[in-house]
Chains A and B, each alone.
Chain A
C-alpha cells in the first residue's frame, strides 16, 4: 500500500481543524460524527447499565425488598430497550464503522455525509423519545413489545417508547444505505473486493441486514402504536387478530438484529487478531463469505424465538434445523481466528486480550444458542435465566468485548493519544472476570428452572444470584475504570504515533494519528492484499518459512 506520510500537515487534523460547538454538531466529517455517536452511545450505555445494576440489586435477595413487581418490570424493560436499540445496534457500525470505513477504503468521506449526520440526529431524536418515556414513568412490556399486552393492556408509556425505537430504526437504515453505497462506490483505485479488510466485509453484511430487516420492525411497531392509540385491529385477539403474527414480524428483524450487533464485532476481531499475531488472517475468503452467509441465513431462523408461543410444531422444526445451519459460518470464523493465532507471533496487548476473551465467550454464547435451538430442550429452558445468560454471552461477552477491543485498538488513531496499557489490562481482567461471575451462575439458575422477568425467587437460588450480583459489580467497576482511563488519555495521554502497533492497513500506514479533515491529500492506490504481515514484510520470516519444513521431516 502506498504509505505516503502527510508530514507537512502535522499541525492540522480533524480534531483541531475547526473549533466550537457548532463545528461539531453540524459537522459532515464522518470522523466527527463517529465521535458524536461515541459520546451519545456512552451516555445510553450508562443509563442502561444503571437499570441493570438495579435489576441485580433487587435479585440479591429472594424477596422483593427494593422494588415492587411493576417497578421491576419497568427496570428490565428499560434496560433492554436502551441497551439493544440505543447501544448495541448502533455501537460498532456508528462509531468505529463511521470512523474507519472511509479510511480503510481510501475515501475522503462516506458516500452521503449529510445523510450520515441525519442518521445521527434520528438516533438522538429517537433516544429523546425513549428517555422521555423513561422519565415520565417507564415502560413495562419487555423490550420485545409483545401484543396484546403492549397494544391494549399496559398502562405504561409504551407509545412514546415505540415512537422512539421507530425513529431510531431509520437512523440504522440510513447508516446501512450509506455504508453499502460507500463500500460499492468509494473504494480507492486497486482496492478490489478481495483486498478489502475483513472489517469492511463485516460492515457490508451488517448494512445489508440493516436495510433489509429494520423496515419490517419499523412498520410492525408502527402497527402496534396505531392499535394502541387509534384502537384499530391488527393483532387484537378479541377481533380475531393473531399476536403470534406480531412476533413473526418482530423477530424477522430482531433475530437478524443479533447479527447486526455481532457481525461488526467479527470485523473488529479479524483486524486485531491479524495485527497481534503478525499474520495474514487465515482463510480470508472464508471469513468474508461467512459474513454474507450469516447475513442471509440469519433471516431464515427467527422462528426459534417462538417454539412455545403457539407457532406450529412443523414450522418450529424448519426453524430449528435452519438455526443449526447458521452455526456453521460462525464456527468457520472461530476456527479461522484460532488458525490465525496458530504459529503467529502473538503479543498480548490489551486489544488482543479482548480478542481472546471474545473468542472464548462468544463460543460459549453461540454453543448454548444451539441448546435453545433444539425444540425439546427449549420447552424446558425457554424464558429462563439460561436464555438470559446465553444472549448476554453473545451480546456482552461477544459484542461489548469486541466494541471495547476495537475502541482500544483504534483509540490512538481516533484521539491521537495513547491510553495507559496497565490500566487497560486491569480493565480487561475486571470485565472478563466480572462478566463470567455474573452470567455463568445464570446458566445454572436457568437450568434449575429460574424464570426470567420475576423479581422474587425461591430461597435455594440465592447463593447463585448473589454470585451473579457480585459479578455485576465487578463488571460495572471494569466498565467504569475503562471510561475513566479513556477520558484521562483523551485529555492528558501521551501523543500516539501514526502506527503504534505496526499494523497494516490504510488507516495506519497512509495517515497520521489523528487523521486530517478529509483523510487523504491524494487518494492512495492499493497494490497489496489486506494484512500483508507475511514473511516478506514482517520480522518473522524465519519461523514462517522454516517450521513447516521441520514438520515434514518429522513425519
Chain B
C-alpha cells in the first residue's frame, strides 16, 4: 500500500502526556467555582482532549479531508440535536400562563 504516514513515537507519547495532564486539569478545575463558566470550561477541556485523540491517535490529521469531514459531521449533528431540543426547554418559561377563567370553560 502506498505511503501511510507512520507517526513518530515522540508524538504519541506527547499526546498521551497531554491527555493525562488534561485529566488532572479537569479534576482540579472542577473544584474551583467559576460561576456560569463551570460547565463550559469542563466541556472545552474535554473537547480539546477529544480533538487530540481524533487528530493524532485516529490519524485524522494525516488522512483524507473526507475523513475529517465525517468526524465533524457527527459532532455537528449532535449539536443540531442539542440546540434544537434545548431551544424548547429554554423558551418554555417565556409563555404567559393561561388565565384561569379561560381554562374553566
Q: Is B80 an interface residue (CB 8 A)?
A: yes
Q: Known pairs A302-B84, A312-B87, A312-B89. 14 more at Cβ < 8 A?
A: A244-B88, A248-B85, A248-B88, A252-B81, A252-B84, A299-B81, A300-B84, A312-B88, A313-B95, A314-B87, A315-B84, A315-B91, A315-B92, A318-B84
Interface pair B77/A314, CB less than 8 Å apart: no
The verdict on A370 contacting chain B, using a C-beta distance below 8 Å, is no
Closest CB-CB distance, B2 to chain A, in whole Å?
15
Can you list, as one digit per residue, whether each of B63-87 has a CB less than 8 Å from chain A (1) or not (0)? Answer: 0001000000110010011001101
Contact B92 A312 (CB under 8 A): yes
Chain A residues within an 8 Å CB radius of B66: 184
Shortest beta-carbon distance, B105 to chain A, in Å? 16
Contact assessment for A314 and B80 in the assembled complex, using a CB-CB cutoff below 8 Å:
no
Q: Please, how many angstroms separate the alpha-carbon atoms of A318 and B88 in the complex?
A: 10
Interface size band for A: 10 to 19
CB contacts (< 8 Å) of A314 on chain B: these are 87, 91, 94-95
Known: A184-B66, A212-B73. A315 touches B88 (CB 8 A): yes
> How many of chain B's residues touch chain A, expressed as a range?
10 to 19
- A-side residues, CB < 8 A to B, are 184, 212, 216, 244-245, 248-249, 252, 299-300, 302-303, 311-315, 318-319
Q: Which residue of B lies closest to A306 (CB)?
A: B88
* Chain A neighbourhood of B84, CB < 8 A: 252, 300, 302-303, 315, 318-319
Q: How far is the CB of A186 from chain B (nearest CB, A)?
A: 14
Residues of A contacting B77 in the complex (Cβ-Cβ under 8 angstroms) = 212, 299
Chain B residue at minimum C-beta to C-beta distance from A244: B88
- A180 vs chain B, min Cβ distance (A): 9
Which A residue sits closest to B66, measured CB to CB?
A184
Closest 7 CB pairs of A and B: A314-B91, A315-B88, A312-B91, A312-B92, A248-B85, A212-B77, A311-B88
* Interface contact A318-B81, CB-CB below 8 Å: no
The interface bits of chain B over 92-103 (1 if a CB of A lies within 8 angstroms of the residue's CB, else 0) are 101100000000
- The answer to whether B80 touches A312, judged by C-beta atoms less than 8 angstroms apart, is no
Please determine whether B80 and A303 come into contact, CB atoms closer than 8 angstroms. no
Contacts of B91 in A (CB 8 A): 312-315
Interface of B is mostly: helix
Q: List 23 A-B pairs, Cβ < 8 Å.
A: A184-B66, A212-B73, A212-B74, A212-B77, A216-B81, A249-B85, A252-B81, A299-B77, A300-B84, A303-B84, A311-B88, A311-B92, A312-B88, A312-B92, A312-B94, A313-B91, A313-B95, A314-B94, A315-B87, A315-B88, A315-B92, A318-B84, A318-B87
> A313–B92 Cα gap in the complex (Å)?
8
Instruction: Report the nearest A residue to B94, measured CB to CB.
Output: A314
Q: Which residues of B contact A249 (CB under 8 A)?
A: 85
State A377–B74 Cα separation when bound (angstroms): 35
Of A216, A300, A314, most buried by chain B (CB within 10 Å of CB) is: A314
B80, A299: Cβ atoms under 8 Å? Answer: yes
Contacts of A312 in B (CB 8 A): 87-89, 91-92, 94-95
Q: Give the distance to chain B from A481, nearest Cβ to Cβ, in Å.
A: 43
- Chain A residues, Cβ within 8 Å of B87: 312, 314-315, 318
Contact among B73, B88, B95 with A303 in the assembled complex (CB-CB below 8 Å): B88
Cα A313 to Cα B88 in complex, Å, equals 8
Provide the bound-state CA to CA distance between A216 and B78, in Å.
Answer: 10
Chain B neighbourhood of A245, CB < 8 A? 85
**Shortest CB distance A181–B (Å):** 10
The residue among A212, A302, A303, A315 with the most chain B CB atoms within 10 A of its own CB is: A315
Q: Shortest Cβ distance from B87 into chain A, in angstroms? A: 5
List the A side residues contacting B88 at CB < 8 Å. Answer: 244, 248, 303, 311-312, 315
Q: Give Cα A40–Cα B39 distance, bound, in whole angstroms.
A: 49
Give Cα A248 to B84, complex, Å: 9
Q: Which residues of A contact B85 (CB under 8 A)?
A: 245, 248-249, 252
What's the minimum C-beta distance from A81 to chain B, rounded to whole angstroms?
A: 24
